[in-house]
Amino acid sequence: MSLTRVRRPRRFLVCEPRHFAVRYAINPWMHPDTPVDVDLAQEQWRSLIHAYRAHGHTVESVEPAPDLPDMVFAANSAVVVGGRVFGSLFHAPERRPESVHYDTWFKTAGYEVYRPESVCEGEGDLVWTGRYLLAGTGFRTTREAHREVQEFFGRPVISLTLVDPHFYHLDTALFVLDDDNVAYYPEAFSPGSREVLAGLFPDAVLATREDALAFGLNSVSDGRHVFIAPQAEALAARLGEHGYLPVPVDLSELHKAGGGIKCCTQEIRS
């Protein structure tokens, strides 16, 4: 059986890694003594932007600020559904000032930005499925924030507990393929959350620990193409069997800060 998957054009917000560095450690991937090649990071990041545009997606960008080395991870700055922007309140004090820059971008673009009262890291932990939000907690975004998100959007929010520090954000352990399906790594979740996912997505594409450690689940799908780390070979092959077209984009330099493709990509849903 060969399935034709349908691509829906997206609008993405990104931030160039001009000031990228690993200066502090707020997840197990980060080692402040690791040298970072900023030119390589920029080159790899530009290949992601090129891939998005080549597949018909709109990409807009926020000006990077010096002294905010993680600002490249645009996904963490908000979650936008139906043109409504739920801003972020970062867990780490080092990242808190990023919000000013992203909020300003949204306001200039004509959006109002809701400021949360509880720690909430945008699309890092809040994943829109097309009908409801899957919400991660355990390391960053709090359950209290899940409640706030549900009040704000008036859409169901399903809380999922993350248990492995390598997968500290929901978007490192799960991504949405299309309106009906997701891919995820079950062991990143608590037993109860695993059951919830199995019930919601009986046909999900399951990833191995190796795929997940290769940032394979930090992917972006447009419904047809899946922008994915080339290191996640087994997962890419499995997605191919399910009728998706993997588009490999290597962001190995950014992996040093614990982020990949999805982390660099904020989706603006009008």
Task: Among 13, 20, 70, 137, indicate the residue that binds ligand ARG (CB under 6 A).
Answer: 70
Q: Does 259 bind ligand ARG (CB under 6 A)?
A: yes
Q: Which of 169, 225, 255, 264 is catalytic?
A: 169
Site for ligand ARG in 119-158 (CB under 6 A): 124
Stretch that binds ligand ARG, among 55-63, 167-175, 188-196, 244-252 (CB under 6 A): 167-175
| 31 catalytically annotated | no
Q: Does 73 bind ligand ARG (CB under 6 A)?
A: yes
Task: Among 98, 148, 171, 211, indicate the residue that binds ligand ARG (CB under 6 A).
Answer: 171
Closest separation in Å from C-beta 22 to ligand ARG = 8
Stretch that binds ligand ARG, among 7-15, 68-76, 100-108, 111-119 (CB under 6 A): 68-76
Closer by beta carbon to ligand ARG, 26 or else 205: 26
Instruction: Look at the block and give the residue holding tokens 């080692």.
Output: 31
Q: Does 169 bind ligand ARG (CB under 6 A)?
A: yes
| 15 catalytically annotated | no
Binding positions for ligand ARG, rule: CB under 6 A = 26-27, 30, 70, 73, 75-76, 95, 124, 169, 171-172, 257-259, 263
Catalytic residues: 169, 263
